[in-house]
Amino acid sequence: MRKILEECIVVAGEMQGDNFLAKSRDRNYAPHVRIHREVTPEGLEIVYMHDEDTDYMEGMNSAGIGIVNAALLVGNDEKAVKGKVKSKDGEIMKKSLECSSLQDCIKTLVSHNGGIKGHTIVGNEKVIYTIEMTSQHNPIIKKMKSPEEKPTIRTNHGIDHSGAGYTPNRKPDDYISSKIRQATAEVQIAGVDNIENIAPALTVPRFESDSNYNMSRRTDNMRTRSQCAMNLGKKHFHFYYFPDECEYMGHEDHTPDGHKKQIKINVIKYNKPKNIEN
């Protein structure tokens, strides 16, 4: 089985008074994705996307906490990811979303089952943090400064750890792609004034259609399959998918009868009218 490749763009900031997180999800396979809504025994509502091929998950909860992640593979990590193996990162994400406090959520992200690897951005309506961690690098946790002035954007090269992810020496072509996608996203997001338009802005091509430098990629090796955007203040979860690249399996509500929904789910199929699921 061929090695699974995972690359993404993750974005965080403030827009129109609300903190937000967003992500473009790139894969070299077409995932089967389902949206789930659950309630913990403590009454905390969780909404998350679930990749049924690898068991990866990410999303937000009714405390207004959201999490997104981009891969930062190093050294032998790449050789170890073979085929559609189950992702332990998804289980860490799910466990973290069961926390009602941001402090407990961050502690879980960096400690549960070895901690989640890569660029992780986690926040609520008041504050956003970045976490950079790999199998060879301890977590560096930083509070995002002035999110209303300049969004934070991460791709697949290290920021706080120079040896993390793609590097000029180890993967020069992929490093250049990661840097260009980050810089292009910064320009695109600067022109957006509505959280619902962030993900679509990351699909705008700036290079040839099959270029690895595009934010939304259509190469032989990597393709953008889906996106998400979370309004942490209003508790809105937006999921965008490309029907030819991702098999959307629907939305499952596991909450008990009579439960008052606290997070609004909005599913958008590109090239089709919006399909809103309340």
Q: Which residues neighbour 35 within 8 Å (Cβ) at sequence distance 6 or greater?
A: 47, 48, 49, 50, 237, 239, 250, 251, 252, 265, 267, 277
Q: Cβ(70)–Cβ(8) under 8 Å?
A: yes
Segment 201-205 long-range contacts (CB within 8 Å, at least 24 positions apart): 202/9, 202/11, 202/22, 202/24, 202/227, 203/24, 203/227, 203/270
Supply the pLDDT for residue 272: 47
Supply the pLDDT for residue 81: 47
Burial class (CB in 10 A: 0-12, 13-18, 19+), 24: buried
Supply the pLDDT for residue 150: 87
3-state SS, residue 216: coil
- CATH architecture of the domain covering 6-277: 4-Layer Sandwich (3.60)
Supply the pLDDT for residue 4: 65
DSSP 272: S
Supply the pLDDT for residue 1: 45
Q: What is the pTM of this model?
A: 0.93
Q: In angstroms, rounded to a whole number, what is the distance separating the alpha carbons of residues 253 and 277?
A: 11
- Taking every pair of C-alpha atoms in the chain, what is the biggest distance, in angstroms? 57
Q: In angstroms, rounded to a whole number, what is the distance separating the alpha carbons of residues 107 and 179?
A: 29
**Where do the domains of the chain lie?**
6-277
CA-nearest of 217, 262, 263, 256 to 236 is 263
Supply the pLDDT for residue 277: 44
Q: Cβ(46)–Cβ(57) under 8 Å?
A: no
pLDDT digit string (tens) for 214-245?
999 999 889 999 999 999 999 999 999 999 99
Q: In angstroms, rounded to a whole number, what is the distance separating the alpha carbons of residues 223 and 122?
A: 25
Burial class (CB in 10 A: 0-12, 13-18, 19+), 154: buried
Q: Say if strands 128-134 and 247-253 run parallel, antiparallel, or are unpaired.
A: unpaired
> Mind listing the pLDDT tens digit of every residue in the chain (278 residues)?
445 667 899 999 999 999 999 999 999 999 999 999 999 999 999 999 999 999 999 999 999 999 999 999 765 444 444 445 577 889 999 999 999 999 999 999 999 999 999 999 999 999 999 999 999 999 999 999 877 778 999 999 999 999 999 999 989 999 999 999 999 999 999 989 999 999 999 999 999 999 999 999 999 889 999 999 999 999 999 999 999 999 999 999 999 999 999 999 999 999 844 443 44
